[in-house]
């Protein structure tokens, strides 16, 4: 399993539009083959900064999602709203403490 963390920074006037887009697409993202977990975070001091956090079965599953028509459409809409370039990390989960 891999974890994908993406930092997204939006123009202030686009925050509500992004939140609506995420609301409309989150179930489809989460149900994409290979995705087992999805969360959205918002920075507590900078409301235009969001992070997506998702678990994927493998790098191949993530890449399949990223090559899908669905992702291309959603990403095309999302990147019009950015204030800064997104940053993304693919990491291996080492340990979870509850």
pTM of the complete model beyond 0.75: yes
d(CA 88, CA 36): 18
Within a 13 Å sphere around the CA of 33, how many CA atoms are in the beta-carbon half?
Answer: 6
**H or E element in which residue 7 lies:** strand 2-9
d(CA 93, CA 34): 16
d(CA 10, CA 83): 5
Q: Beginning with the edge strand found earlier in the chain, give each strand of the sheet holding 35-42 in spatial order.
A: 35-42, 49-56, 2-9, 87-92
Give 15-64 pLDDT, tens digit per residue: 999 999 999 999 999 999 999 999 999 999 999 999 999 999 999 999 99
């Amino acid at each position: 399993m891999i974890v994908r963390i993406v930092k997204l920074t939006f123009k202030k006037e686009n925050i509500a539009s992004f939140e609506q887009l995420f609301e409309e697409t989150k179930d489809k993202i989460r149900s994409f083959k290979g995705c087992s977990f999805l969360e959205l975070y918002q920075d507590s001091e900078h409301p235009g900064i969001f992070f997506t956090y998702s678990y994927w079965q493998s790098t191949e599953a993530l890449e399949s999602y990223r090559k899908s028509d669905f992702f291309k459409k959603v990403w095309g809409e999302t990147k019009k709203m950015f204030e800064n370039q997104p940053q993304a990390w693919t990491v291996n989960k080492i340990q979870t403490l509850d």
